[in-house]
Amino acid sequence: MADLDGVKDAKNFCTDIPMKNEAFFLKGSNSLDWGMKNRLSNIFSPKSGKTLMLAIDHGYFQGPTTGLERVDLNIVPLLPYCDTLMLTRGILRTTIPPSFTKGVVLRASGGPSILKELSNEQLAMDMEDALRLNASALAVQVFIGGEFETQSIHNMTRLIDAGNRYGVATLAVTAVGKDMKRDARYFRLACRICAELGATYVKTYYVPEGFETVTSSCPVPIVMAGGKKIPELDALTMAYNAVQEGAAGVDMGRNIFQADSPVAMIKTVSKVVHENLKPDHALDMYETLKNEEND
Ligand code: R5P
C-alpha cells in the first residue's frame, strides 16, 4: 500500500492567475498538433522564429559534388553552427554522429539522376524509417510546370498525409525546370499550391523583385534556398534581403560549404538570419573570421 503519511494537501492553485494560452510562434502553424510543433521548434529557433538549415542533400541526384566529397571531413565541423541539417538518410546513418541533437530534415523524394528528367521523382523513403531516425521534417521536391508536375504534387500530398499521422513536418521544395522563368509570379504560384495542399513549410528561391509578395501570399513559413555558389557578399545580401522580406530563414548549401571558409560563412549567415546583421557588416565579420582561421 502506498505510504500516505505526511502527504501535504495541495493548495497552491493560484486561482487569480489565468493559464496562458499563447499562439505558436510560427506563421500558419497554430493548429498543428503538439508533436509537430515540437519538431518545428527543433528546426526554427523559438527565440528568433528563424532557421539556418544547412543543406547537404545534393548527392541524392548529383553524387559527390564539390564540397561534399567527404561529409565527415567537410561538413561535420560545421554542425555546431547550424540550426538544422537537411540531408539524405544514407549520409545521416553513415556519417553524422548520433549525438547531433538539432533538427534533422530528411530528403524523402528521389529517383532520377542529373542524367535524366529531374521532375520524374517518386517518394524515396518510408515514414517508419523517418521516425526511427528521429526526423523533424521530410523534404519533397515539387515541380510546378514541370513534366511530372502532378506526380510530384502527389508525392507531396502522400508525404503530408503520412507526416500528419505521426506529427512529422513536410517541407515542400519548389524546384524550377531549366527553361522556366524564376520570378515572383512563378514562386507565388508554386509556394501557394504547396501550402494549399498542406505543406508545413516551403523552400523557395529568392527573387530581387517582389519576393515579399511570395512570402506574404504563402500562409506557412518560407525558407530561402541558397542556389549556386556566388560571391560571399552577394550570398549574405540575398540572405539578408530574404529575411527582411518575410522569409523564416534560409536553407543554404553551396554558398556555405563551397565558401573559402565554410566555418566563417556559416557563423556569419547565422548572424544575418537570427540577428539581422546587415550585409556590409556581415562581410566584415566573414573576412575577420576567415583571416583568424589562417593566422
Ligand atoms: C536541391 O535540390 C537540394 O535539395 C538543396 O537542398 C538545395 O538546392 C539547397 O542547397 P543550395 O543552397 O546549394 O542550393
8 A C-beta contact, residue 108 and residue 140? yes
Contacts of 56 (CB under 8 A, 6+ apart): 68, 71, 75, 85, 86, 87, 91, 253, 257
Alpha carbon of 149 to ligand 1 centroid (Å): 19
What whole-number distance in Å separates Cα of residue 277 and Cα of residue 288? 15
The whole-number pLDDT of residue 56 equals 98
Residue 137: strand, helix, or coil = strand
Buried b vs exposed e over 150-167: b needs ≥16 C-beta within 10 Å? Answer: ebbbebbbbbbebbbeeb
Instruction: Please give the DSSP secondary-structure letter assigned to residue 109.
Output: E
Alpha carbon of 275 to ligand 1 centroid (Å): 23
Q: Is the dihedral of CA 36, 38, 41, 46 positive or negative?
A: positive
Choice among 37, 203, 267, 290 that is catalytic: 203
Phi, psi angle pair for 98, to nearest 5°: -65, -10
Alpha carbon of 228 to ligand 1 centroid (Å): 8
Nearest ligand 1 atom, CA 252: 12
Q: Choose one of 62, 75, 82, 173 to mutate for the ligand 1 pocket test, by most ligand atoms within 8 angstroms of C-beta.
A: 173
Q: Whose CA is nearest to atom 8 of ligand 1?
A: 227
Q: Which residues pair with 202 in a beta bridge?
A: 172, 222
Nearest ligand 1 atom, CA 229: 13
Nearest ligand 1 atom, CA 175: 2
What whole-number distance in Å separates Cα of residue 269 and Cα of residue 236? 7
The DSSP H or E segment spanning 34 is helix 34-40
Q: Whose CA is nearest to atom 1 of ligand 1?
A: 58
Nearest ligand 1 atom, CA 257: 13
Alpha carbon of 11 to ligand 1 centroid (Å): 56
Alpha carbon of 59 to ligand 1 centroid (Å): 10
**Active site annotation includes 267:** no
Pocket of ligand 1 (CB under 6 A): 55, 57-58, 86, 225-227, 251-255
* Nearest C-alpha neighbor of 256 from the set 66, 27, 25, 99: 66
pTM: 0.95
Q: Whose CA is nearest to atom 6 of ligand 1?
A: 55
- Tell me how far apart the terminal alpha carbons of the chain are, to the nearest angstrom: 69
Q: Choose one of 53, 56, 58 to mutate for the ligand 1 pocket test, by most ligand atoms within 8 angstroms of C-beta.
A: 58
Antiparallel, parallel or unpaired: β 201-205 and 84-87: unpaired
What whole-number distance in Å separates Cα of residue 54 and Cα of residue 82? 6
What whole-number distance in Å separates Cα of residue 63 and Cα of residue 280? 35
Alpha carbon of 15 to ligand 1 centroid (Å): 52
What whole-number distance in Å separates Cα of residue 112 and Cα of residue 57? 14
**Per-residue confidence in pLDDT tens, the chain, 295 aa:** 566 677 778 888 999 999 999 999 999 999 999 999 999 999 999 999 999 999 999 999 899 999 999 999 999 999 999 999 999 999 999 999 999 999 999 999 998 989 988 889 999 999 999 999 999 999 999 999 999 999 999 999 999 999 999 999 999 999 987 777 889 999 999 999 999 999 999 999 999 999 999 999 999 999 999 999 999 999 999 999 999 999 999 999 999 999 999 999 999 999 999 999 999 999 999 999 999 988 7
The crossing angle, in degrees rounded to 10, of helices 232-244 and 262-275 is: 20
The whole-number pLDDT of residue 174 equals 96
Which grid coordinates are listed for 275? 540577428
Residue 110: strand, helix, or coil = strand
What whole-number distance in Å separates Cα of residue 221 and Cα of residue 111? 27
What whole-number distance in Å separates Cα of residue 168 and Cα of residue 166? 6
* Nearest C-alpha neighbor of 49 from the set 24, 26, 72: 26
Nearest ligand 1 atom, CA 58: 3
